[in-house]
Chain A
Amino acid sequence: MNERVVTLNLNGRRARVRVEARTLLSDALRHELDCKGVHVGCEQGACGACTVIWDGQAVRSCLALCPQAEGATIETIESIATAGGNLHPVQRAMREHHGLQCGFCTPGIVMSLVAAYRSGATADQAKHDVLGGHLCRCTGYANIRSAIDAAWTERDHG
C-alpha cells in the first residue's frame, strides 16, 4: 500500500495524518481528521459541498489528493464558529434569511462565502460568481442571495 504522512495546518493546529496516497483531501478531512462538516455531495467537483479554504482560497476538497495539501493551511467549517458560539456574519445572515433547508450543501457555501467576504469581493460577485459555483437543491438560491446582501451590508457599512 502506497502510504504517505501528510502534515497540515488544520483549523489553526498542526495535524499529521497517514493516508493511502490516493486518499482524497475530503475523505482525509472527514474520516481521519474528524472534520465531518466537510460534506461530500458528488466527488466530481460539481456541487461544492466539500469546499474548504486552502491557503486563503476556497477549494473543493474532493478534487485534491490529501498528499497534495502537504504543508498547506486548511480551514474547514468547524473553524468558523461553533453552534453555541458567535456565528460569522455570513452564517448569521444565512440563518436570519432562511438561506438553508436540509443543510447538506450549507457548509461548502458558507466556506466559499467566508473566503469571498474576507477577500473584499463585492456582494454581486458573491451572489453570482461565488454562489453560482454551488448546487443547492432545497432553497432555490433566492434566500442565500438575500443573506449575502445582508452580510455584505454589515461588512461594508456595519
Chain B
Amino acid sequence: MAALVGQRIPRVNDARLLCGAGRFVDDVDIPRVSYAAIVRSTVAHANVTRFDASAAGTAALVMGPDELARRVRGGLPVLWVLGDQTSLHTPVVDLRVKYVGQPLGVVVASSRALAEDIAESIVVEYEDLPVVPDIEQALAPGAVLIDESRPGNVLATLECGDSAADTSVVFGSAPRQLRRRFHIGRLTGVPMEPRGIAVVPDAHGKLTVYTSTQSAHAVRDGIAEVTGLAQHRIRVITPDVGGGFGLKDHAYEDELLVVLAALELGTPVKWIEDRNESLIATTQARDEIHDATIAFTDDGRLLGLQVESWRNVGAQLSIFGGGPLFAALGMMPGPYKWQAVRGVGRLVATNRTPTGAYRGFGQTQAALIREHMVELVARELGVDPVALRLQNLIGVDELPYTNRAFITYDNGDYAASLLRARALIEREIAAVATPDDGRRRGIGYCVYVQLAGVGPSNINQMLGLHIGGHEGATVRMERDATVRLYVGISPHGQGQETTFAQLVADRLGVAIEDIELIYGDTDVTPYSAYGTAASRSIAVGGGAAIVASDRLATKLRAIAAEMLEANPDDIVLGHRRATVVGTNVAVDLSQVAERANQGFGLPAGITPGLLESHQYDPESATFSYATHACQVAVDTETGVVEVEHYVVVNDCGTIVNPNIVDGQIQGGIAQGLGAALLEEVVFDDNGQPLTTTLLDYLLPVESSIPQIVIEHIETPSPYTPGGMKGMGEGGTNGAYACVVNAVYAAVPEIGAVDCVTPLSPSRLWSLLHEASAR
C-alpha cells in the first residue's frame, strides 16, 4: 500500500485559489441575473405599521412583509428540541420586529447599487415596543415578553448530568466549595466571504441555487419547507465557500426572501451579503452567563461541578436551538473523574441577533468553565495546577469511560498530553530570556476532551436532535481507472479534496491525482444533514468513503484475480496496478476497470460496473483530546496582553494529513485567542448593534498570534474505519480557556468575583483598576 495516509501532502486545490481562479458564489456567471437588496429593521423591538415602497421607481420587484407572507408555506425548522422548548419553527417574515437587521422585504433591480438605493427609499414605520437588551433585563420581573407564549422570556430549560438529589448529596458532604460567575461575551464567526445566494428558476419549475453554505442539503430542506416546492425540484450547489465556522449551516430568512423573489420573477436573482449585514444579521454566538460551583477535598480531589447557565439566544431560536448550551453542559465534566456533575441551562430571548452554531458549539465555554474552576482550586489549595489535574484525570486504563453526563469517551492518554505540554511550555519559556519590562506574566493550561464525529443517528434522536448522524459516499471508477468520490460533506477550507483522496487512493491503489472529490450538489451528492460541521467530516464522512472504497477494492481484486488466474486474496492494489502478491504478475487497473465496465468475462457473482455506495452510521461519536498551554505577558498600564509562548499536544486519532491537522489547530487557536482577548459583539440598551464594521469588531491579526509548537499523540479511534476522530473545533476550545487562565494567573486580583471574557485591553484595564481600588 502506498500509505498516503499520514503524509504532509500539499493540498491539491491550492493553485486555483492562489491564482484567483476560485469560484465563489459571487463569481458564478449567471445570464440575465438581477440583484437583490434586503430591507431590514432598524429598530430592535416594534410592530411594523407601514411598509411603503411607492418611491421605489425602477425596481424590477419589491416585496414587503405582506406579499412575502402570502407566498410562504412554512417556517424555517428548528432541528434541536430540548427540555420544555415549544418553538419548532421560526418565521421567515414577521410584522413583529425582534432585532435590528431582521429582514422585512426584498428589492430586485438591474444592479446591486440600484437595488440598495431603492431599498433605502422604502419607508418603514414602526410602533415601538420596550426593548429587552440582555439576559438580566429579560429575566427581570415584569419584563416585556418577546415570545408571549413563554413566561419570563425563557424559551426552554434543559438539564444535563446528575439529578439534583444526587448532586446535593455530593455537595452536601464536600469539605470545600468555590463559586464563580462567568460572563461569556457575544461573538460572531466572521468568515472572510460573507453569505450569498444566487437563485436560478427554469421554465420547467426547477430551481437551481448557488449558495455559500456548509450544508447544501440543509439549505435545500429549508427552501422546500418555506416554498412548498418538492425537494427534487430544488438543486442546491455550493461553489467555493470562503469559510463558515458554523454560521453557514442553514438557510437564512434573508436568503429565503431572495428565493421567493426569484420565484415571483421567474428569472435569476443574486444577493451577496455585505460585511455590515454579516455583522448584524448572520447568527452570532455565546453571550452566556454561567454560575459554577466546584466541590473538592483538602487534598485536591475533585468531587463535583454544578453549573447554572443562561444563554442569550437572541430574538428567536436558530436551526440548532439550544444545542450549544446542551453540548456545553454535556462536555462540562471534561477529562476528570467526578462524583457528580449537573448543569441546568436556560435559553433566554432578547432583542438581539439570534445566536447559533459557532466553532466549538458550546464545548469552548465548557472548557473555560471547568479549567478555570480547576485552576481556582489549585490556587485555593496552594498546589500546582498541573499536579491537581494529573491527580484527577481519567487514566488510560479507565477508558472507555462514561462521564457524568452519560457520554462515553473512547480512548487515549490524557495525562500524557498534559505532561508533554508542560515539558514543552517550560522548554519554550526557558529558551529565551524573559525581558524585565514590567509586564506581569502567567501560564495557563487547558486539558479538554472534544466530542467529535457526532452520531450515531439513534443517539441524535435520543437527544432531541431531528437529524441523523450518518454520512454517505459513492465511489466510481472510470474506464481509465480514475476515480470520482461523491460525498455529502463539503469543504470550505478543510482540504477534504486532498484528505479524502489520500484515504481512498491508498485503498484503490491509484495516485492522489487520479481522484476527484464531488461535493455540494444536492442533485448528485449523497444526502447529508450536516454537510461539513461539528468536527465530523473526516471521522464520519471519511468512514463512509473508506467502506465504499474497500468494497470497490474487493471487486477490483476479484476481477483482476480472474484476469490473472489467481486468488482474489492474493491480489494487491498499488501503483495503478493489480499485482499477484510476491510476484511481478500484474495487470493495469485501467484494464481491470475496462473489463468491469464492459462486463466481459466477469467472475461469477460480480456485477458489471465499478460503483459502490455506503451510508455510514457510526457506532459511536469520537473523542479527540489535547492539552494547550501558554504564557502571556500583561501590560498593566494599557491592558494589552501578549501571548508569548504557546504549545499544544493533540490526539485526534489517525492523522490523514499533518499539514491540515496542524492548520486546523493553528486556525482554531487564533479564534479561541480572539474570543479570549479581542472579539465581542456589542449592543446598546436599545438593542442597537455597535460593532458593525471590522474596525469595531476586532479580529486577531498577525501580531496577535505567536509561533505555536504542536505535537501529536496518535491513538486511533476504535470505532471509525480508519481511526480518525475529528478535530476541527478543538483548537478553539483549548485556546480560549488556556489564554484566559494565563491572564488570570498573571493578574489574579481581577478574578476575585467573576470571570469575564473577552479580556480586551479596555476591559482588562478597567478590571485592574477596580481591583486596585478594592
Q: Give, as a whole number of angstroms, the nearest-CB distance from A14 to chain B.
A: 21
CA distance A81 to B16 in the complex (A): 10
Q: Collect the chain A residues with CB atoms within 8 Å of residue B14's CB.
A: 94-95, 100, 103
Residue ID in chain B nearest A136 by CB atoms? B192
Write out, one digit per residue, whether chain A residues 91-104 have a CB within 8 A of any chain B CB (1) or not (0): 10011101011111
Contact A95 B663 (CB under 8 A): no
Q: Is B241 an interface residue (CB 8 A)?
A: yes
Q: Collect the chain B residues with CB atoms within 8 Å of residue A141's CB.
A: 670, 700-702, 705
Q: Collect the chain A residues with CB atoms within 8 Å of residue B15's CB.
A: 83-84, 87, 91, 95
Contact B17 A140 (CB under 8 A): no
Q: Collect the chain A residues with CB atoms within 8 Å of residue B241's CB.
A: 102
Q: Collect the chain A residues with CB atoms within 8 Å of residue B335's CB.
A: none
Q: Collect the chain A residues with CB atoms within 8 Å of residue B19's CB.
A: 37, 77-78, 80-83, 87, 91
Residue ID in chain A nearest B27 by CB atoms? A36
Contact A22 B113 (CB under 8 A): yes
CA distance A2 to B19 in the complex (A): 34
Contact B663 A103 (CB under 8 A): no
Given contacts A41-B193, A128-B702, are A78 and B20 in contact (CB under 8 A)? yes
CA distance A95 to B495 in the complex (A): 12
CA distance A23 to B111 in the complex (A): 11
Q: Is B24 an interface residue (CB 8 A)?
A: yes
Q: Is B494 an interface residue (CB 8 A)?
A: yes
Q: Is A60 an interface residue (CB 8 A)?
A: no
CA distance A33 to B273 in the complex (A): 22
Contact A42 B11 (CB under 8 A): no
Residue ID in chain B nearest A42 by CB atoms? B275
Q: Collect the chain B residues with CB atoms within 8 Å of residue A144's CB.
A: 702
Which residue of A30, A35, A143 has the most chain B CB atoms within 10 A of its CB atom?
Answer: A143
Q: Collect the chain A residues with CB atoms within 8 Å of residue B23's CB.
A: 36
Given contacts A98-B11, A102-B193, A104-B243, are A140 and B21 in contact (CB under 8 A)? no
Q: Collect the chain A residues with CB atoms within 8 Å of residue B192's CB.
A: 39, 41, 47, 49, 102, 104-105, 135-138
Q: Is A76 an interface residue (CB 8 A)?
A: yes
Q: Is B332 an interface residue (CB 8 A)?
A: no
Contact A95 B11 (CB under 8 A): yes
Residue ID in chain A nearest B693 by CB atoms? A44
Q: Collect the chain B residues with CB atoms within 8 Å of residue A38's CB.
A: 20
Q: Collect the chain B residues with CB atoms within 8 Å of residue A132's CB.
A: 701-703
Residue ID in chain B nearest A84 by CB atoms? B15
Contact B22 A95 (CB under 8 A): no
Contact A103 B702 (CB under 8 A): no
Q: Is B568 an interface residue (CB 8 A)?
A: no
Q: Is B230 an interface residue (CB 8 A)?
A: no
Q: Collect the chain A residues with CB atoms within 8 Å of residue B671's CB.
A: 137, 140
Number of interface residues of A (CB under 8 A): 56
Question: In residues 483-513 of chain B, which contact A (Cβ within 8 Å)?
Answer: 492-495
Contact A140 B694 (CB under 8 A): no
Q: Give, as a whole number of angstroms, the nearest-CB distance from A22 to chain B.
A: 7
Q: Is B242 an interface residue (CB 8 A)?
A: yes
Contact A101 B663 (CB under 8 A): yes
Q: Is B18 an interface residue (CB 8 A)?
A: yes
Contact A100 B17 (CB under 8 A): yes
Q: Give, as a whole number of angstroms, the nearest-CB distance from B345 to chain A.
A: 28
Q: Is A142 an interface residue (CB 8 A)?
A: yes
Contact B695 A137 (CB under 8 A): no
Residue ID in chain A nearest B244 by CB atoms? A102
Question: In residues 1-19 of chain B, which contact A (Cβ within 8 Å)?
Answer: 10-11, 14-19
Contact A137 B245 (CB under 8 A): yes
Question: In residues 26-85 of chain A, which contact B (Cβ within 8 Å)?
Answer: 30, 35-44, 46-47, 49, 76-78, 80-84
Contact A131 B702 (CB under 8 A): yes
Q: Give, as a whole number of angstroms, the nearest-CB distance from B111 to chain A.
A: 8
Q: Is B746 an interface residue (CB 8 A)?
A: no
CA distance A63 to B15 in the complex (A): 28
Q: Is B88 an interface residue (CB 8 A)?
A: no
Write out, one digit per residue, whether chain A residues 5-25 have a CB within 8 A of any chain B CB (1) or not (0): 000000000000000101100
Contact of B193 among A23, A39, A78, A127 (CB under 8 A): A39
CA distance A135 to B11 in the complex (A): 21
CA distance A132 to B191 in the complex (A): 18
CA distance A128 to B22 in the complex (A): 27
Q: Give, as a whole number of angstroms, the nearest-CB distance from B710 to chain A.
A: 10
Q: Collect the chain B residues with CB atoms within 8 Å of residue A135's CB.
A: 192, 694, 699, 701
Q: Is B667 an interface residue (CB 8 A)?
A: yes
Q: Is B666 an interface residue (CB 8 A)?
A: yes
Q: Is B158 an interface residue (CB 8 A)?
A: no
Write out, one digit per residue, whether chain B residues 655-690 have a CB within 8 A of any chain A CB (1) or not (0): 000011011001111110000000000000000000
CA distance A137 to B247 in the complex (A): 13
CA distance A67 to B21 in the complex (A): 26
Write out, one digit per residue, whether chain B residues 186-202 have a CB within 8 A of any chain A CB (1) or not (0): 00011111100000000
Q: Is B240 an interface residue (CB 8 A)?
A: yes
CA distance A40 to B194 in the complex (A): 9
Question: In residues 48-94 of chain B, which contact A (Cβ within 8 Å)?
Answer: none
Contact of B663 among A98, A104, A110 (CB under 8 A): A98
CA distance A145 to B700 in the complex (A): 15
Q: Is A122 an interface residue (CB 8 A)?
A: no
Q: Collect the chain A residues with CB atoms within 8 Å of residue B707's CB.
A: 142, 145
Contact A139 B694 (CB under 8 A): no
Contact A106 B18 (CB under 8 A): yes
Given contacts A76-B20, A78-B19, A83-B21, are A98 and B10 in contact (CB under 8 A)? yes
Contact of B18 among A91, A128, A140 (CB under 8 A): A91
Contact A94 B190 (CB under 8 A): no
Q: Collect the chain A residues with CB atoms within 8 Å of residue B26's CB.
A: 30, 36, 40
CA distance A94 to B717 in the complex (A): 32
CA distance A107 to B21 in the complex (A): 9
Q: Collect the chain B residues with CB atoms within 8 Å of residue A39's CB.
A: 24, 192-193, 242
Q: Collect the chain B residues with CB atoms within 8 Å of residue A42's CB.
A: 275, 693-694
Q: Collect the chain B residues with CB atoms within 8 Å of residue A78's CB.
A: 19-21
Q: Is B129 an interface residue (CB 8 A)?
A: no
Contact of B667 among A77, A95, A101 (CB under 8 A): A101
Q: Give, as a whole number of angstroms, the nearest-CB distance from A105 to chain B.
A: 5
CA distance A143 to B705 in the complex (A): 11
Interface residues in chain B, defined as those with a beta carbon under 8 Å from any beta carbon in chain A: 10-11, 14-24, 26-27, 113, 189-194, 240-243, 245, 274-275, 492-495, 659-660, 662-663, 666-671, 693-695, 699-703, 705, 707-708
Q: Can you name 10 extra interface pairs (CB under 8 A) apart from A46-B694, A138-B663?
A: A40-B26, A77-B19, A78-B20, A95-B14, A101-B667, A105-B242, A137-B243, A139-B667, A141-B702, A143-B663
Ranked 7 nearest A-B pairs via Cβ: A37-B20, A104-B242, A103-B17, A140-B670, A77-B20, A102-B493, A101-B493
List 27 A–B pairs whose Cβ atoms lie within 8 Å, in order of A's numbering.
A30-B26, A37-B19, A37-B20, A38-B20, A41-B194, A44-B275, A76-B20, A80-B20, A83-B15, A94-B18, A98-B663, A101-B663, A102-B191, A103-B17, A103-B242, A103-B493, A104-B22, A105-B192, A132-B701, A134-B702, A137-B192, A138-B243, A138-B663, A141-B702, A141-B705, A142-B666, A145-B707
